[in-house]
Amino acid sequence: MRTLLLTELYKIGTRPRSYIGFVAITAIVLLIELALWLDGEAYIGFILQSLEQSFDVQGRILNGQLVAFVILQTLIVQMPLLVALISGDLISGEAAAGTIRLLMTRPYTRGEVLWAKFTAASIYVFLLILWLGLLALGGGMLFFGGGDLIVLKSDGLIILKEADTLWRFFAAFGISFLSLSVVSTFSLMLSCFTDNSIGPIIASMAVIILFTIIGTLEVPLFERITPFLFTTHMIVWRNLFDFPLDIPLLLRSSAVLVGHILVFLGISFYHFSKKDIQH
Amino acid sequence: MRTVLITWLAYLSVVSANAQGNPKQLLQAVNRKFAQVSDYSANLNMQFNIPSVALEPVSGKVYYKAPDKFRIKATGILFMPRQNPYYTLQSIRDTNAYTAVFAGQEQVGTVRTTVINVIPYDNAGELILARLWIDPARQLILKSQLTTKTNGTILVEQFYGAMQQKGLPDRIRFSIDVARFKVPKTVAIDLNSKSKNQSLPAKGTGIIELSFSGYTLNQKLSDSVFREEAQGN
């Protein structure tokens, strides 16, 4: 089983597209950090201008915590697309390349093969989030220093003490891992249904974009659907930066995400174990 | 309009001065009491209740040096009134710089206070009008309402305890007009949040409460204490 997992990791590691995510994250994070380094004070000034008419806001507002938070806000919405790029062709890519029959001749059950692919995809997701965390939080702290975190919202601000932020970031990365694992298993599931390499990737992206649009538009019809979309629960990491914490909401959304992973994985196992492999 | 107001208040001042004595004498008495303090340091706890801003209490250290140096040292982000807590006392120090008018008597808590309106002569200054509620027996300002050019109206309530002999409060509560906080979602990068609080008023009142303890008086504080460090923490 370990050999199978290492083989899957090797396959992911040797594909150039696996590095698109890391390159994209690096470029975006460095770009945001550079922009905030140059114009961050003006950006903060614009946000706080209505409050600064009445108050003297003291302290280091533009700091590593705020930079990391801004980066997470910007990037985590886009990251599912980077994940789907890898997990969407884990099975269908093999089918399209004709290597799946060869894979099935090895002394492993189909369940073990799928499990190895799922685990490899999860490790990829973990590394992607780890890289994001290192660049966003580590880079932010390195270039901007620490301090209290101002959580920016369009209709208010929450100020969290510096000592109270680090665990929230780690928990946010944890929930992001769950969220991206939903995308990963969703595209893996689609990948089991087709022999076309690109189809599941495009389909996963389309579903995420559609669900995100439905979740963003404040139309009464959509608002009834929104709680049932997994994309709604994927952004619950933001609620970790609320004060006070809405623990039931966090637990509910995390449970919904885990539920989605189990359902998508269950369907994948069921279909893949009965799949008629012809190519 | 300002000239008419000053003339009218000056007239009232003359009339009431005959009836109640000169309001500037009471203000001078208040000043004299506070003048016993040339500098102090104290522990400070700040509590905030500002519409649209969630901020936990902050503790720190406060330093004051006469006539107008004031500094709060605390770690982290905090919201402070734009005027320092002794802005009122600073504004009434020079009794030749304003007109003072008795405006009757009012009850503040259990104390019967004398109300005095102060109108500065300087049109270019930040302060337009100060309304002071003074305890004549203890010669302490219990409440002041400051109308300023740029920051609207600020209500400052002072609560005294052990240090009242020196005119130093245990607690000061600022009530400040605050415009409703609203920035575009794209600026706050808050794209996925649902709109709420649509029915909130355009303005609210922000409250900042400063609690002082452990006063150390007249220790000849150095001016370097009041210099800002490179970073605002």
pLDDT digits over A239-248, tens only? 999 888 899 9
Tokens 């500098």: give the residue: B39
Nearest-Cα distance to chain B for A134, in Å, is: 21
Q: Strand B169-179 to strand B203-217: parallel, antiparallel, or no bridges (unpaired)?
A: antiparallel
> Cα(B157)–Cα(B144) distance, rounded to whole angstroms?
6
Interface test with A, best of B79, B196, B200 (most A CBs within 10 A): B79
Tell me what percent of the residues of chain B surpass a pLDDT of 70.
Answer: 82
Is A56–B79 a contact, with Cβ atoms under 8 angstroms apart?
yes
Type of residue at A249? L
Mean model confidence pLDDT for chain B: 82
Nearest-Cα distance to chain A for B169, in Å, is: 21
Is B54–A70 a contact, with Cβ atoms under 8 angstroms apart?
no
Averaged over B140-155, what is the pLDDT?
Answer: 88
Among B17-21, B95-99, B142-146, whose mean pLDDT is lowest? B17-21
Closest alpha carbon to A61 in B76, B153, B26, B171: B76
Is A139 domain-assigned?
A: yes
Is B193–A154 a contact, with Cβ atoms under 8 angstroms apart?
yes
In chain A, residues with a C-beta closer than 8 Å to the C-beta of B185 are: 154
Q: Which domain holds residue A32?
A: 2-272
> Cα(B75)–Cα(A48) distance, rounded to whole angstroms?
19
pLDDT of residue B183: 76
Is A250 domain-assigned?
A: yes
- Cβ(B101)–Cβ(B13) below 8 Å: yes
Is A130 domain-assigned?
A: yes
pLDDT of residue B14: 47
pTM reported for the whole predicted model:
0.82
For the cut 70, the answer to whether the pLDDT of residue A56 exceeds it is yes
CA angle B66–B69–B70, rounded 5-degree value: 115
Is A55–B176 a contact, with Cβ atoms under 8 angstroms apart?
yes
pLDDT of residue B233: 42
Q: Phi and psi (nearest 5°) for A278?
A: -105, -25
Is A278 domain-assigned?
A: no
CA angle A50–B210–A164, rounded 5-degree value: 70
Residue B193, classed as helix, strand or coil, is coil
Is A206 domain-assigned?
A: yes
ipTM rounded to 2 decimals: 0.75
For the cut 80, the answer to whether the pLDDT of residue B47 exceeds it is yes
> Cα(A176)–Cα(A129) distance, rounded to whole angstroms?
8
Closest alpha carbon to B91 in B148, B169, B157: B148
- Class in CATH terms, B2-216: mainly beta
pLDDT in tens, A3-46: 888 988 998 999 888 999 999 999 999 999 999 999 999 988 88
Is A279 domain-assigned?
A: no
Count the domains in chain A: 1
Distances (CA, A) of B153 to B49, B80, B141, B177, B178: 17, 15, 17, 6, 10
